[in-house]
Amino acid sequence: MACRLCGSTNLAKFLDLGFTPPADGFLRREQLQEPETWYPLEVMLCRACGFIQLSYVVSPEVLYRHDYPYESSTTRAGRLHWEEFATTASRRLGLNPDDLVVDIGSNVGILLEAFRNHGTRILGVDPASNIVRIAEKRGIETLNEFFGHEVAREIVAAKGHAAVVTATNVFAHVNDLRSFMHAINFLLHQQGVFIFEAPYFVNLLNHLEYDTIYHEHLSYLSLKPLVNFFGEFGMEIFDVEERDIHGGSFRVYIGRRGQHPVAPVVGKMIQAEEDQGIYDLAVLNRFAAAVADNRRELRLLLHQLKHQGKRLAAVSAPAKGMTLLNYCRIGTETLDFVTEKSTLKIGRFTPGTHIPVQADAALLEQMPDYALLLAWNFAAEIMDNLAEYRERGGKFIIPIPTPTIV
């Protein structure tokens, strides 16, 4: 394979999570009897440019086009985050009512709704037809397409060039990044700004967030490899903001070279990446060893609890949780059920492990002794929402970075 950023074939594998089905491939009951496709989940370092990426690309048609079960609005913390994003960007870039904001992978339109509340024109682009229907019911105009050059042309012809293009938790999902950036370059007006937000690889490494690795996340982003890449399009990273969401994300501002003063934080973060050794194979191999240790510790803890006759369930069914369950081989022999707030997942079964997904109310109705918290990045909010479960004696298990009973 070749690096999807620089094209080099000098890649080294440092983490192998085995074969897993797509993390958002939640099954209906009638699908349980059908064959399920599992794909390799391996992470590579490009030794030429430092880009971290998966070795195997699952077709986006398989991952997103039909029956996609992710909604970006199911947590209060998530909604507040998108409101903050729109407020910060609108003020910082001085957006006005003539300005067009295009969100790629716009999902149900929460971010665009926040931009509209700040007075801009908005348009979403998303390939998941079931999600686009929800967005349109909410009054968010959305093109049901994969973003590319043809879609960019269509938007410019209909609405003009964009002042801002956003791609939150999307840039890392794109296989052909070069073609993607050509389309963005065409869509933006001369002073336009591209803003992407994604989990920051430094946090994944430091906090052992290996469950955030799954087939939708093709790339694990840091700043240094991106500098030369954006330079190829006459663009530069001019600012970066770190945010707590999704286990620690960074929001990266990209504009045409010379259009915006480059903030000192950009150089500082690149130097910090070098100092921490995130492009050093020895450091990455130590991370992989720690991942294997986490699997052993978590499996041992759950096995001991089951041996004591305790009943276990899981709370929340995010995509990251499916990596954890499949890599750690935790299934119906251990967990009675998984609870969820999202109606798109309730009544289905987890990919690979086939654990039934029930509404959050099942936790209080059935009162398992322990609940494995799969959306650990929203632990405080979820445990607060389920305070009655703890008051009645239930305990939570947080799996990452060290399995801990709360």
- Tell me which DSSP letter residue 355 carries: P
Taking the C-alpha atoms of residue 282 and residue 305, their distance in angstroms, rounded to an integer, is 35
What's domain 301-405's architecture?
A: 3-Layer(aba) Sandwich (3.40)
pLDDT digits (tens, 9 = 90+) for 86-145: 999 999 999 999 999 999 999 999 999 999 999 999 999 999 888 899 999 999 999 999
Q: Which residue has the higher pLDDT, 138 or 79?
A: 138
Reduce the secondary structure of 285-306 to three states and give it as a string: HHHHHHHHHHHHHHHHHHHHHH
Domain residue limits, the chain = 76-279, 301-405
pLDDT digits (tens, 9 = 90+) for 17-38: 999 999 999 999 999 999 999 9
The answer to whether the 76-279 and 301-405 domains have the same CATH topology is yes
Q: Which residue has the tokens 């348009």?
A: 123
Which two structure tokens, joined as six digits, stand for 150? 């043809």
pLDDT digits (tens, 9 = 90+) for 148-179: 999 999 999 999 999 999 999 899 999 999 99
Q: What is the mean pLDDT of residues 345-367?
A: 96
- The CATH number corresponding to 76-279 among 3.40.50.150, 2.60.40.1180, 3.30.230.10, 1.20.1560.10 equals 3.40.50.150
Q: How much is the mean pLDDT over the chain?
A: 94
Please say if the pLDDT value at position 242 is more than 90.
Answer: yes
Strand partners of residue 332: none
Q: Which residue has the tokens 């195997």?
A: 56
Query: What local confidence, expressed as pLDDT, does residue 70 receive?
Result: 62
pTM of the model: 0.90
Residues in Cβ contact with 31 at an 8 Å cutoff, skipping those fewer than 6 apart: 349
